[in-house]
Amino acid sequence: MTKSLFSPTLSPHVLDGILMKTRRCMLVNAIGNREDAQQQFSIKTRISTAAMSIILMVLMSSAWADIINGASFVGVWAIRVLDCAHLPAATRVFEMSMDRQNPPASTARKEILTFVIPATEEGEKERNALVPLPKTYNEAVTSAIRVLGDYVGDASAENIRLRCRVQNKEKKWIWADIDPENWQLLVSAGDDVGVFEKLKIPRGMDLFLHGQVYLVFGERQPRQLVWSEVVPNNSRQGPHKEMLVRRPSSFTDAMQLLRAAISLRSFGDYVRDIDHRHFKDWTDEDWARATPKIKFYTFINPNLSTAVFRQLPELAYTNDDVWRFAVSMPGEVLGVVVPKQEEL
């Protein structure tokens, strides 16, 4: 026989009364909780409405117009918080963190420009680089040299020209010159800007012509530069191969050839017209101080004349590609001027 869960001393009427009172208490508690919840929601709603009114008054004020442009994300984030005030705490934290990770598209816009070195010859590769959008043409040239200068023979501002990639009337893509004075009007973020050399200089040793050049020495005299005599190797005096040197492929190479030529015993026979005694017995320290002041020259005459000459560009002393482009060709004359002792 199963034992009753209720005490046998309680009558059915008493049990009904206990159940009735229990249901009434549960109903009262439920109504109270609902009223508390409605009251809390009403308070939150009033707070949210007041805060929203304050934010809208600030945003609509003309005095804060500049702030609106830079604080759109802050405003959206604040509105998002108010909008989520009635949600559970975990949900509000999650949505606010997502807003931080994914800001509005308007704030994520990037002002980027693409620099391009087109492949103009067979075997070349196009080079590309991204930079923040420069404000001026000169600033753009500086940026182009900084990021792509290693792929340019003469990476000097004077040798760089920028062009913008645009479509012509035939819908073909072309490179158009840019007016430096109207850079901001003509170039926008996302454009492709080509980097071109005004004077294209070959890179590397592949196209370098090897051979020999005649080496002559110059001395600065009042109002003129006097050169030593060029002695061809087929002179009646006999072969003088000492004056013929290998065509140097760089300034460093030229300095080695220069010191080797000066160390020859017969060197004095070829520089009779100039004073060479001051550097004949120089030490390594003397050469180290003189090297930055030594200048090389090329001569514009096919008959080995030294009447017309020009100095190698300054960039040739630090850029081997420029040196190989500018140095005298095989069979021509290469001049050098060594400073005097008191000029060191």
The token duo for 89 is 């705490």
Q: What is the pLDDT of residue 39?
A: 55
Residue by residue, DSSP assigns 267-287 as GGGG-TTS--HHHHT--HHHH
Q: Which residues pair with 196 in a beta bridge?
A: 161
The token duo for 263 is 């160390």
Q: What is the pLDDT of residue 196?
A: 94
Q: How far apart are CA 108 and CA 84, in angstroms?
A: 24
CATH of domain 112-197: 3.10.20.90
What is the distance of C-alpha 164 from the center of its chain? 18
Query: Cβ(159)–Cβ(198) under 8 Å?
Result: yes
Q: How far apart are CA 221 and CA 71, in angstroms?
A: 70
Residue type, 40: Q
- Residue 226's nearest CA partner among 271, 263, 290 is 271
Q: What is the pLDDT of residue 173?
A: 94
Q: How far apart are CA 262 and CA 175, in angstroms?
A: 51
Confirm whether pTM is higher than 0.85: no
Residues of the chain with pLDDT under 50: 1-10, 27-28, 37, 41, 58-59, 62-87, 89-98, 100, 106-107, 232-234, 236, 239-241
Q: How far apart are CA 119 and CA 330, in angstroms?
A: 30
The domain segmentation of the chain, as residue ranges, is 12-106, 112-197, 212-343
Q: What is the pLDDT of residue 21?
A: 57
**SS3 call for 230:** coil
Q: What is the pLDDT of residue 151?
A: 87
In sequence order, the 6+-apart residues with CB closer than 8 A to the CB of 137 are: 162, 178, 180, 181, 183
**R_g of the chain, CA atoms, integer Å:** 43
- Residue 269's nearest CA partner among 225, 217, 336, 338 is 217
User: Cα dist. 36→25, 44, 48, 92 in Å?
Assistant: 16, 12, 18, 22
Q: What is the pLDDT of residue 22?
A: 55
**What are the φ and ψ backbone dihedral angles of 170, each rounded to 5 degrees?**
-85, 10
What is the distance of C-alpha 271 from the center of its chain? 49
The token duo for 72 is 């759109």
